[in-house]
Structure 1
Amino acid sequence: MTEPGMSNAIIWQRQNLRELPKFRDGTTYLYLEHTRLEQDGRGVRAYHPEGMVTLPAASLSVLLLGPGCSVSHEAVKALSDTGCSLLWVGEGGVRLYASGLGETRSAARLQRQALLWANPQSRLRVVRQMYAMRFPEGLPPDLTLEQIRGREGARVRDAYARSSQAYGVRWDTRQYKQQDWHRATPVNKAISAGNACLYGLAHAAILSMGYSPALGFIHTGKMLSFVYDVADLYKLEVVLPVAFREAATPGDDLERRVRTGLRDHMTKLRLLERMAADLLRLLGGDDTDPNSTAPGDLWDPEGHAAGGVNHAGHDS
């Protein structure tokens, strides 16, 4: 798509990734259904039966693509070049099926995550830090991991009970069965829809910061284990108030209202900025992204060798 009088030859200039806003400075997310995305001379446009909008691609952190969405190759390239993560999700955003490339091009943070994950001592240290972040009063250092999990279970149970009382919504137990989605209670639907949005945001944060969503510290064995780790840091604070509030409000489109409410709530809490800072605090490293245009180093047991140069010497 081009504007009248605009040349079809060059309609997108590749931007310098280092000059774009950092992930935590961007907006939260946008969820789309039954929409066609195409590149035009100013970026990416979204065509929906109700109209057309130009997406704020340079400041958009994650784009959730629901059922009925189609994306042109050039639109994917344009969004990727601005650092926007594309997530293909199920109806209502309750499942995440696939994801695109994040903003960073460096493997430094991923390598540090792998080192912390592979060492039992450092992994346990990160696990304890993740649990401690959920308790403002802190945790006694002599607690075993099983005791910590017990306290976490009690914290979650109490949070559900308080939310139930505060919003006047009956709460029995957490139930989510993918096959019986339409039979779930409204509050369980609201929580599931909210969790899915939070997972998408955490997934985008992890990829954009250069970490692996698979190398979880508390959760393990799944390709999104670290996504669950990160989302659990904020789930009770972020999802529960919105989910119970919307479940208590009469009306249709419960999942849509939850997504809209969460977007506003996440912005108010500055959740993107918090996620970025917490990831760096948990896994270490600095807030810089090395020059993505520079060649990578070559591994050597005595220290990395420079990449992008000919090591044959003068004798070859």
Structure 2
Amino acid sequence: MEDRISFLYVERAVLNRDGNAVTIQDSRGIAHVPATELAVVLLGPGTKVTYAAMALLGDAGVSAVWVGEKGVRYYAHGRPAAKTSRFAEAHAKIWSNQRSRLRCARRMYAMRFPGEDVSELTMAQLRGREGARMKRIYAAEAQRTGVEWSRRSYDPMDFDAGDPINRALTESSAALYGIAHAVIVGLGFLPSLGIVHTGTDRSFVYDVADLYKAEISIPAAFDAVAAASAGDYFNVRRLVRDKVVTTRLIQKMVRDLQELMDIPTSETYSDAELMLWNELEVIAAGINWADESGVP
């Protein structure tokens, strides 16, 4: 997972297979992409996918995510690369205990506030400090790029209603959510069990993406708007991708997730053995555990 390309967004094209490569065909021709180098394929409007392409993506452990235009809406995803439940069990254990969940939340905020001691802060105090931090970040990015800024304002049901910078921020955040979602399910964590966020099937995705917005998606949005002439299209996703590559975000995200969930970096997610739960232990599956009389 650490060595894979973050994401590939495709729209109005046909995906097929040629050997171990995914082929993407549109009016400009055919491009070949090695499947094992991808973390997630974002399938946008007008995309057609063959059975052969999906079989290859599944075998290579590539997450296939069906999204709306510009990747702003999430609709569905295919089977992830993880084949073990170890990471999901560790995640659920932390989430289900109030003290361990608070401890994990403090770790997340500590990643955003380098050099600050947040070990004794309550969730309300952490939220307040994060809100003030975000205001400072937006103001600093506006001053750096010269982009006019008032406040974060957007309508989830009407993407085009926002001003250019708010549309760019929504689009860059969507790309970052896709990357975070791919890494989370690729390792076997549970997207719905948020530590800070709660209530949706992607609560943990928002948790993880928030760790990197100040470094990745927010600067990319302001840079994109600053570089575009009035009324011109701004390519936010390209700038997000460039920042993901230069910061080695996927590698960092994998390590950060293992640290947050107290999982040794030597742990692997690819090997798995089906077992049976037996109260305080696990026992082998595929065995008839009844005695000769048929009584358990």
8 Å Cα contact 1:194-1:259 kept in structure 2: yes
Q: CA deviation at 1:301?
A: 1.1
Q: 1:140 to 1:280 in 2, by over 3 A?
A: closer
Count of residues in correspondence between the two structures: 291
Q: 1:133 to 1:290 in 2, by over 3 A?
A: closer
C-alpha separation in 1, matches of 2:290 and 2:3? 45
C-alpha separation in 2, matches of 1:244 and 1:43? 35
From 224, 227, 241, give the equivalent of 1:263. 241
User: 1:224-262, CA deviations, whole angstroms, 9 ceiling, x for partnerless residues?
Assistant: 0000000000011111111101111234221xx110111
Q: Hey, what does 1:81 align to over in structure 2?
A: 59
Q: Does 1:154 align with 2:132?
A: yes
Q: CA deviation at 1:56?
A: 1.7
Q: Hey, what does 1:288 align to over in structure 2?
A: 267
8 Å Cα contact 2:20-2:34 kept in structure 1: no
C-alpha separation in 1, matches of 2:269 and 2:179? 24
Q: 1:218 to 1:121 in 2, by over 3 A?
A: same
User: 1:156-183, CA deviations, whole angstroms, 9 ceiling, x for partnerless residues?
Assistant: 0000000010100111110111333222
User: 1:98-120, CA deviations, whole angstroms, 9 ceiling, x for partnerless residues?
Assistant: 11111111011101111110111
8 Å Cα contact 1:37-1:45 kept in structure 2: yes
Q: CA deviation at 1:263?
A: 0.6
From 73, 81, 86, give the equivalent of 1:95. 73
Q: Note the aligned Cα RMSD (angstroms).
A: 1.5
Q: CA deviation at 1:127?
A: 0.8
Equivalent runs, 1:272-287 vs 2, <5 Å: 272-286=250-264, 287=266
**Structure 1 ranges of 4+ moved more than 6 A:** none
**Structure 1, 173-182 or 208-217: larger mean CA deviation:** 173-182
Equivalent runs, 1:299-310 vs 2, <5 Å: 299-310=277-288
8 Å Cα contact 1:295-1:308 kept in structure 2: no
C-alpha separation in 1, matches of 2:286 and 2:276? 9
Q: Does 1:210 align with 2:188?
A: yes
Q: Hey, what does 1:171 align to over in structure 2?
A: 149
C-alpha separation in 1, matches of 2:270 and 2:63? 20
Q: Hey, what does 2:49 align to over in structure 1?
A: 71
Q: Hey, what does 2:90 align to over in structure 1?
A: 112
Q: Does 1:135 align with 2:113?
A: yes
Equivalent runs, 1:247-262 vs 2, <5 Å: 247-251=225-229, 252-254=232-234, 257-262=235-240
Give the residue type in structure 2 aligned to 1:136: P
Q: CA deviation at 1:289?
A: 2.8
Gap regions ≥5 residues in structure 2: none
Q: Hey, what does 1:29 align to over in structure 2?
A: 7
C-alpha separation in 1, matches of 2:147 and 2:5? 31
8 Å Cα contact 1:167-1:245 kept in structure 2: yes
Q: CA deviation at 1:291?
A: 6.1
Q: Hey, what does 1:10 align to over in structure 2?
A: none
User: 1:262-307, CA deviations, whole angstroms, 9 ceiling, x for partnerless residues?
Assistant: 1111100000000000000001223433664x54110111411111
- Residue aligned with 1:304, SS: strand
C-alpha separation in 2, matches of 1:223 and 1:240? 24
Give the residue type in structure 2 aligned to 1:304: V
8 Å Cα contact 2:84-2:273 kept in structure 1: no
Q: CA deviation at 1:155?
A: 0.4
8 Å Cα contact 2:81-2:270 kept in structure 1: no
8 Å Cα contact 2:14-2:47 kept in structure 1: yes
- Residue aligned with 2:180, SS: helix
Q: CA deviation at 1:314?
A: 5.9
Q: TM-score, normalised by structure 2?
A: 0.94
Q: TM-score, normalised by structure 1?
A: 0.88
- Residue aligned with 1:137, SS: coil
Give the residue type in structure 2 aligned to 1:216: G
- Residue aligned with 1:24, SS: coil
C-alpha separation in 1, matches of 2:228 and 2:118? 43
Equivalent runs, 1:34-49 vs 2, <5 Å: 34-49=12-27
